[in-house]
Structure 1
């Protein structure tokens, strides 16, 4: 097994870390799927198939992590190198955090309000800082929050989450 410097060891370290994060997320979703309501007339509940899929994803990620570690050894990198590379992904991380907040806020605020706020904030963060940008961001946020809501409710008869207040 060859020795790597901390810069080249960062990619396998992030790969193994991503396997574990995806596996943990899949296990969490499998348990959430298990709480779906069961039918009196069906032998399996509504959550059985999603549970099988999520546990399969978790198992595959676990196997991939073990195979990667057995092939390459446990990756080592310095904290400074990892921190510099992480800071380079600041926009991605902030957008991911905004999306997580959006998903947590949606059951309370409803689809239209939470989607509007998420799209407006994300666009204003990512777009160039010009006066016209504010108008475009608000227009796009309004269009893509109210548009799908009314499309789903009026055309498909599928009701997206409504505000709880």
Structure 2
């Protein structure tokens, strides 16, 4: 194995971390898919296909972790370099946190409300705050929160989560 600087060793460390996060998320979603309702007329439940997909993602990420570990060994980097690089990813991390809050709030606040707040907050965070951008962001948030809700409910008869208050 070759010696690398602490900054160059950060890339394999972040790859391992991303594989681990994706594997854990897919494993969680595979368990959640098992709680989907079963049909009396179909041999497999509605959650069987998502369980197969998420289980496959978990297995592939596990294999990727093993291959990365054998390819690069244990990642060696300093905490300072890792923090410096993570600060450079501030927009990505904040967007991930906002998305997590959005997904957590959707069963309580409903699809329209949570989607509107998520889209508006994300757009206002990422775009410069001019009066034109605020109007456009509000319009886009209204359009993409109410539009899909009514499309799914009226055209497909699929009802997205409603507010529980």
* TM-score above 0.5: yes
| Residue range with higher mean Cα deviation, 29-38 or 100-109 | 29-38
Unaligned runs of 5+ in 1: none
Mapped partners of 1:156, 1:55: distance in 2:
28
Unaligned runs of 5+ in 2: none
Could you tell me how far 1:148 is from its partner in structure 2? 1.5
Residue 156 (structure 1) aligned with residue 151 (structure 2) = no
SS of equivalent to 1:7: coil
| Residue range with higher mean Cα deviation, 51-60 or 77-86 | 51-60
- Residues 99-137 of structure 1 show CA distances to partners (whole Å, capped at 9, x for unaligned) of 111111111111111111111111111110222222121
Mapped partners of 2:35, 2:129: distance in 1:
45
Residue 23 (structure 1) aligned with residue 23 (structure 2) = yes
Residue 53 (structure 1) aligned with residue 53 (structure 2) = yes
- Residues 31-84 of structure 1 show CA distances to partners (whole Å, capped at 9, x for unaligned) of 111122233444433222222221111111111111111121111111111101
Mapped partners of 1:147, 1:43: distance in 2:
34
**What residue is the counterpart of 1:85 in the other structure?**
85
Could you tell me how far 1:143 is from its partner in structure 2? 1.3
**What residue is the counterpart of 2:136 in the other structure?**
136
RMSD: 1.3
| Inter-CA distance 31–125: structure 2 relative to 1 (3 Å threshold) | same
**What residue is the counterpart of 1:100 in the other structure?**
100
Mapped partners of 1:40, 1:151: distance in 2:
28
Mapped partners of 1:115, 1:156: distance in 2:
19
Mapped partners of 2:49, 2:139: distance in 1:
39
Could you tell me how far 1:149 is from its partner in structure 2? 1.4
TM (norm. structure 2) is 0.93
